[in-house]
Chains A and B, each alone.
Chain A
Amino acid sequence: MSDDRGAKQKTEMVPLPSDSIIPERDLGKMTVLETRHLGIDFGGLTALEDFNLAVGPTEISGLIGPNGAGKTTVFNLLTKVYQPSRGAILLNSRDTCALNTVQVCKAGIARTFQNIRLFSDLSVEDNVKIGLHNQIPYGIWTGIFRLPGYWKYERQAHERAMELLSIFGMANMANSQAGSLPYGAQRRLEIVRALATGPSILLLDEPAAGMNPSETTELMENIVKVRDTFRIAVLLIEHDMNLVMGICEGLCVLNFGKIIAKGTPSHIQNNPKVIEAYLGKQKEEGLAC
């Protein structure tokens, strides 16, 4: 964080029209996820207003902003944990207005959580198999009476789960209890579980929270690897600027529920509004003491 602040202060602050970059880029672009004038009110409080975002296929985008800016609210709206008060969410050009959380997941949005939410009493492999739930289509009777379909799909699920786990180097932990894993492994398992649902866009809510620098570097490699292997888009919320500036191709900065800047990482780094949101207004020179 401290390096990053230094970098910002060194660079010359060139004011940029905050909204001019992305819309141009968005024009005519194929998108996986698009939001139009998305907004939500909690009682009298407007938590998010006029949120427009477009994420292209195989694009890694970042959603940043100070605490309480409404970043996680965006994720909760995208996954329909909250119903939006205004606006539309288009997933692969299809409106998700009428869908609930489960249907949105089937339609192709997978997410992880800011505070890890694993099925902690179950084994690592079972956690991934639960992510594969909608890909192993045998019914309840097949399961109870152990019909041939059970053995076939369970074998497939096992193989797929191990394959996914080995991408993140977790195949040797398959039988351990998910809750007993070290913190970093739990975060990775959450990503594996989300990937198991076969998404077209992966939402990562602070994937590097609580990780040390070497773990974060590994995570960055993993995120890029995931994007390249699965050809999916990634939208991530993160406070770790090394990660954000390192792998994100597009950034969107939120403050008080409003987009204050959009653009490439280098543009965002120099944006005075962003710097103001993070560091506060610069004091006038004469008053500095």
Chain B
Amino acid sequence: MNLLKNLSSTAKSNFFTYALIVGGYIVIQILSLTGGLTYSLQGLLIPVCAWIIMAISLTLTVGIMGDLSLGHAGFMSVGAFSGIIALISLEAVIPLVGLRVIIAMLTGALCAGFVGVLVGIPVLRLRGDYIAIVTLAFGEIIKNIFTCIYVGMDNAGLHFGFLLSSGISELNLGEGARAIVDGPQGLLNIPNKIVTFSMGFILILAALFIILNLVNSRAGRAIMALRDNRIAAESVGIPVTKYKLIAFAVSAALAGAAGTLFAMNFSTVVASQFNYLASIQVLVFVVLGGLKNFWGAIIAAVLLTVLPESLRFLDEYRLLIYGILLVLVMHGTYSNIIHKLLNFFRSLFPTPDKLEKQ
């Protein structure tokens, strides 16, 4: 306990975030060993991992950098498509599944990070609400581009096509033909059951490691300085565009890795899955988690992904639940509800002054 007392509040919160993830992993593993997991929950494990990564990566943009991004699902789709293309096209070259998955995720992250930089250069010159509007548009643009892309593979290698009027047959695939991306029908023939929950868990840990270390370093302080007071930050010599781009690109890259993870769990994925509703959904996780709280975003992501699925009979009303929750949160932040809840959670953890009282 003494050790915990001496840590700073950020170190405590980071420790709690890691402990939450590791604890959650152990609980799930025990449940699955004892058969306590229902079939539908098992199917949810990897998507939940992906949404957790989305939530913490958007927390970096919205909570730490302070810019509202509504196109985060766009980066997820970049990661999903590029990662899966890499995964399938490397099938013959790298037989080792684990290594291929890692390469696929890295490809997804790099491509999404690159797109993040491209989008970030014009977008981050804007301020406030305009960033939200333009990122929303970019998210939709990325989604629409992916509905026009055709990728196939034959023995000669990869074939790319864009806006083909008569579909993937225009690629004239030769022997050993295999369609990977078929325009509006999205990713096809994704190798099934290639990722495990443990891989998702490791990816979450890696994402947390990158983001928490970034936030608690020189660059992270610079990013938070820009959020708190841009003019003052500039006056002490912090280049605005550079650090905003870094934060945005890291956030996009992690969303890309999450997208790859997400897509690998399904046999087909269409681009329209990554529409603005998905972006808003991730934003709901972040807002519900308390904007700057990584562990809050994680809990919100788990709850809001598992809850609608376990309330399947209400499935059509899923978005209604999101809406009501958002309204409640917005109401709550201006009233006592949140404070009461926070105080309740605080009372669960020992604080220095409480220990002294005892």
Contacts and interface: CB of A to CB of B under 8 A. Distances in A.
Contacts of B240: 102
B188 interface: no
Contacts of A117: 229, 231-232, 235
Contacts of B246: 140
Interface string B129-142: 00000000000000
Contacts of B209: 144
A146 interface: yes
Contacts of B236: 105, 110, 130-131, 133, 193-194, 196-197
Interface stretch (B192-200, B220-228, B262-270): B220-228
A134 B237 contact: yes
Interface in A174-199: 175, 193-194, 196-197
A117 B220 CA distance: 19
A119 B213 contact: no
Contact of B222 (A81, A118, A133): A133
Contacts of B231: 81, 113, 117
Interface string B185-223: 000000000000000000000000110011001111110
Given A140-B246, A143-B218, A143-B220, A122 B237 contact: no
B233 interface: yes
A130 B220 contact: no
A102 B225 CA distance: 14
A47 to B, nearest CB: 18
B292 to A, nearest CB: 8
Interface string A145-175: 1100010011001000000000000000001
B306 interface: no
A110 B229 contact: no
A102 to B, nearest CB: 5
Contact of B218 (A133, A175, A197): A133
Contacts of B239: 102
Chain B interface SS verdict (over half): helix
Contacts of A120: 228-229
A122 B219 contact: no
Given A120-B228, A122-B225, A140-B246, A106 B237 contact: yes
Contacts of A101: 234-235
A81 B234 CA distance: 9
The size class of the interface chain B forms with chain A is 20 to 34
A69 to B, nearest CB: 22
B94 to A, nearest CB: 25
A52 interface: no
Contact of B233 (A81, A106, A130): A130
Interface residues of A, number: 38
A145 B214 CA distance: 9
Given A196-B236, A197-B236, A119 B217 contact: no
Nearest to B234: A101
A121 B228 CA distance: 7
A143 B234 contact: no
Contacts of B228: 118-122
B213 A143 contact: yes
Contacts of B102: none
A263 B311 CA distance: 79
Contacts of B217: 138, 140, 142-144, 150, 154
A175 B233 contact: no
Nearest to B216: A143
A117 B233 CA distance: 9
B353 to A, nearest CB: 14
A90 interface: no
B222 A130 contact: yes
Contacts of A154: 217
A107 to B, nearest CB: 9
8 contacts: A79-B235, A113-B235, A119-B224, A122-B224, A130-B222, A175-B8, A194-B235, A196-B236
Given A81-B231, A101-B234, A110-B235, 5 more contacts: A106-B237, A119-B232, A121-B227, A133-B222, A144-B214
